[in-house]
Structure 1
Amino acid sequence: MIAIISLLVVVFLSILITRIATIALTHTGLTRESAKFQARSAFSGAGFTTEESEMVVRHPVRRKIVMILILIGNAGIVAAISSLILTFVKQSTDSDLTIRVIFLVTGLLGLWLVASSKWADRWLSIIVERLLNRYTNLNVKDYASLLHLTGEYRLVELNIRKNDWVDGKKLSDIRLRDEGINVLGIRKSDGDYVGNPIGETRIEQKDTLVVYGRIEAIEKVDLRKKGVRGDIDHVKAVKKQKQEVFKEKKKEKKQTG
């Protein structure tokens, strides 16, 4: 039974560590979905085969986070396998074996429910973010305070993939600023960089957009695909941004009044 408890502890710590790494990576400019994928890939040793991995290895802080994840992940996997072996190789009766299996499955199911719970994710993220803000300095850019890169706002790099909503469109067509997102620059697939791009600049597959805005809005654009659904989501995002602007103006009016 001790071996099973040890295994559950290892699994719990694995979930916690990857969650901390995910939030740490978002502090360096990755979207949450990209950070989650890279953190889990590094921890599990699955390897990096995506374009996003290039943004990780080129960035000193991201590279350090990933290296730590790889080291901890290797040790965690070995410990988990060892605990699992000890659980079932020990001589025991059929009834003892059944109890162990039930206990193990129940424990893993409980951890899976906690890991997939939006409520648990939200509160764990808040706690981890506060600890990172208090004990670390992951906003390595010297303009972090100028752009208020805390809380809702982030400076993020977006890799443009095939069938992304912005792929093949001009900046003037997608009107990201109406969603509260500012495109500060575009790194083209051939290596050229377009700073402060104008409306006629066309976004193409394998380009990288440097954007600034609310992280929630940026993540939605990053996941948005071509088609009618994408256009509808854009209209909804524009409407939501107008509501946010109205709330901010109302709040500012109260403060000044």
Structure 2
Amino acid sequence: MLLFLLIYSVIVWAVIEIFVILFRLTGLKVEVSRFQVISMMTGTGFTTAESELILGHPIRRRLGSFLILFGALSLAVIISSISQFLSSGLRTKEILLAAAATVAVFGLLKLDSVQRLLARVFAGKLSRKIELADLPIRDVFLKNKEDTLLNLHIYQDSELANRTLSGVLVNHVELEIIVLFIQRGKVRIIKNIYDTTIQEGDQLLLFGVEKAILALFAHDIQLMEEKL
């Protein structure tokens, strides 16, 4: 019985590491990948905000579907194996073969050449079959490390309150910042954004170089962080 649990633990560990590698090849950070893999396998913790990185990406969704099924079936396998062990003995040979196969796949995925090949395959599938609207925001906008997206809340004491963006962002065409839209309640303002007077309660979605955004909106960002 202890041998079975040890072998099965090796299989689970190998599966986790295999999918951590696969998720990382889709652009997900290692620490996020490992937590989400464990969450999906165990059915706990997957409701965190980081799960949107999985749900919003078509390839990650497919990998996640397998992990969820694997986790559910694993519990059934453990219960069935314990039952067989108590009744007629455990087939150690088959379990050892399954463990060896899983560890072999893990070892194969650790090879740099295999990882580069899979990365190209994943990228090819995204470029050929996936619409831009299906991709998560991170993969569409944040391709460069210096870029960022900021949802800026406007308060009564904000410097932008009761002013227009054209009055604040002089020569905004030359800046490395774009205001995508203004959210005013249920209304989304897209037309004439830079000439629209900003009101208390508005939310501005900003995109651009992080250093430029932090420098130009330092006061309003600090105020938002204090309020939130």
When normalised by structure 1's length, the TM-score is 0.43
Rg: which structure is higher?
Answer: 2
